Structure 1
Amino acid sequence: MKNWFHTITFKMISLISVLIIFICGTFLYLLQDHIRNMTENQMATQALNIASTIASMSEIIEAFDSENPSEVIQPITTKIQQEIGAAFIVIGNKEGTRYSHPIPGKIGGQMIGGDNEDVLVNGKSYVSKTRGSLGLSIRGKVPLIKNNEIIGVVSVGFLAKNIDHMIQDSFKRWLMYAALLFSFGIAGAFLISFYIKRLLFNMEPVQIAKLYEQHKIILETTMEGILAVGPDRNITTINHSAYEMIDPNKKAPLSKWMGTDIQHIFTREIALRDTIRNLEISLDGSIIILNKAPLLEKNKQIGSLYTMRNKTDIQRIADELKQAKQRANMQRAQTHEYANKLHIILGLLVHKKYEEAIQYIKREKNIQGQVKKMLNSNSKSPLLFALIQGKITEAAELGISMELKECHLSSTLNAKQEEALLTALGNVLQNAIEAVRGIKHSSLKLIQISIDEYKDRILFEIQDSGHGVSEELYATLFARGVSTKEGMDRGHGLAISKQALQSVGGEILLDEGDLPGACFLIILPR
């Protein structure tokens, strides 16, 4: 039990309880004055309004000309007094003689209180608090005027003792509410303390401090780059591995990156996207694999977590998987294409168009044979053959004509050159397919590939019949995040291709071709 008094639970319960007691006490003290002032002001306003209404009644004013005004005035004031619940309604003449009073025996006597002067002399309407024949009261006094002459006074009052009873009744209710709130507050203090303790996994501050140190050590010893951002996309956590990736030259200390907008590191599209899986991007001269996941708390996103890895052995595995996927797509496309062609042949045979069927078969065999013969006779790279053949088949499936105009490649590429070439050529061909895919007329969907070998370089030329590249993008086309297409995760393919080719001494350029669309030149040294 002694140790319990030193726990965070006991301290929070004690602090919250004292705070609630102080707030409730201060609230009741101020509330009492507020209720009194509000009630008295309300009664005073009501008294003054009623007195003004009575003073404007023609029956009251005309009664002053009668021999016995009280016979007319007393019934009227008695009825109004009962309806509004006032303590008294007294009407007197200019000399202060009463024409009405809640006690009929006092009619004809002088009005008591000494507060009629401003009304009868100056014609003012006002509220006073003074003691009369019935006791201390709040009065609303209004002059009676006939033909611009003051002829009397109307006094409507509420007894102070009755107002005190009203205030006490109201205050008692608020006192009960305060007691109820106090009980709920104490109960809430217990619930909040235990809730916070549960949020802290039943740990004390000392234990939390130790956990924080362990968390810090884990972050610093993890080889994978870790970045955490809050809901405003500013960095809240960054480990040393991530710091070396985003600032390899250490232009700014690690602490300076805290609070930095993540868009200063990645593109806006990446910053806005909730989830990213194995996105390959170029970051400060290095190719990294980026993953992003939302940080959730009770199904509400409170930030995002970025993890980054340098592309080393992962790149080799990813390329192998990519090539396997390309082969699978090639086989699927070929199967689909051949099935379509078999249906055409079947239709020609059903309609007994034997000669047309024979010519169609010969033409298709000649086209496929020429492409395969050209690739097999010149290409020293089976992977390059598979890539080009797969893209030709994929394009044909989409109604796009992809022509291999020339193929002169007798040199053998090393592993790094082949890897860079496959990355660049795959991206450019895919971009070309997407560029002409939207053209309505199939006769205008054309992509041309030519491979030429020179003394000191190998040149790949890829041109399409799309809409080309606008002049404002020429200078920045190969920069990360720049793209002619809309959508997320755009503008990485050409940047990665350029970096891959430059790593083996090659280059990728944008040139003018014979077709109206873009013309890319991929250059590799021999």
Structure 2
Amino acid sequence: MTGERWSLARQLLVIQVIIVGMLVVAGAVLAYLDVADRTEDSTREEVVSVALTIADSPAVVDAVLAREPSAILQPFAERVRRDTGVDFITIMDPDGRRFTHPDPARIGERFLGHIDEALAGKVFTETYTGTLGPSVRAVVPVRDGDRIVALVSVGITLDAIAGQVSDRLVPLVLVALVTLAVGMTGTYLVSRRLARQTHGLGPAELGRRLEYHEAILHTVREGLLLVDQAGRVTLCNDGARELLDLDGQVEGAVLSDLGLPAAMVASMAPDRTTRDEIHLTERRVLVVNCTPVRSGNRAHGTVVTLRDHTDLQALTGELDSVRGFAESLRSQAHEAANRLHTVVSLVELGRYDDAVEFATAELALAQQLTDRVVDAVSEPVLAALLLGKAAEANERGIELVITPETEIDDTVLGGTLAPRDVVTILGNLIDNALDAAVEGGAAQLRAPKVFVTARAEDGALLLRIEDTGPGLAAGEVAFDRGWSTKAGGTGHGRGIGLALVRQAVLRCNGTIEVNQGERGAVFTVRLPTALVPR
């Protein structure tokens, strides 16, 4: 296997082994050189100390001045040499003739080395090759008063110094080996851990996977957020930025500081699992899924995925409207069949005048509502919506009143206002008003009614829906996700209608207000016709 195919962990292991080995070897060499240098320094200090001690001895001065100096000094020098462990002690006259030497045969010969500095009264050391081989030696003058009467040289051979260094080298080598073993073990353990975390992949493959990871994160349309245990965003892809309308630096920010709806932030809490929850922002309907990420018993945070269901929700609303129209047509067909059977029965009974009167009256009622809607609303989409809602209201026993001030021509929609948004707004508000009117009629024992006003006013489309329901209690927020007028209406899956209304109004750059009227709740929407929807 070539180095290029090795895993990242194996490559790092080899590199670390080489680095650790080089560091240990370099440290051992430096330590050896330091030991050798310190040993030589201590040797110089030792020979100088021994030489000065001998030179300061009165017995040595007396022996030098005696008739036979060697007879007295040779035994003394050998005894001191054995006691101090030096290799030689040479006492000589100022001319360099030896009085003592470890080899008695060398007594009387000239000293091999430099003595000029000692004759000048100085103490000095040098490394010189004498009769015993290379040695570190000190040469010290012996004084009798102010007069130099002899010289003392004390030395230790380099072989002896090398032996001392070798004795100190053994523990040094052991320490180096132990350090190397510990370093190799630590490197191996780190490599094993890295291999598990990288799944045995090589640097090139890891790099490619990182590139793929980044490409996927930035190209998928679905939003992806990674939130840690502290509620901070650690990753946000382009899809999430677009769906949540986020600008600037998002990574590292606290989720609650991003201006998201409180319900959405709560659904993304750590350790909370969320499945296909519907949440609304100002512009979108989002499906949110949250899954906690764990490694063993340790929690790492939450993975949040976002899908855009704005168009799907709008199409669902339109489908609901179509279904409502179909149900209205079914109901009208059923009612028409009943009326036709009544007319036929009257004809069969010979009650011709009654049959004509009955048919004419029913036709007049239906035609009256149709004519009222068509005369006031020439825009076909809104006219169809109002006719369908009127039929639905009639089936539910509710009177849908199109107020006299209602007047919309066919130039309002299709330009700056999208028909889909207007249908969403008006349809949901009427549905909500119908439900409230039924509830108010049952509670107050009065005929439920819903009043609808739609007209162009001051460059805007004005929509006002009033019902005879119980109205809104003080402090109620009608446009929050989950609010509903229905009993038990705060549960999951309810309360999205008014939230969608608010979203569509904001998308059209409009405004919406809710107030308590004389009869019940009044919703007023203004949609500018001179501004393009956001």
TM-score by length of 2: 0.48
TM-score by length of 1: 0.49
Bigger Cα Rg: 2
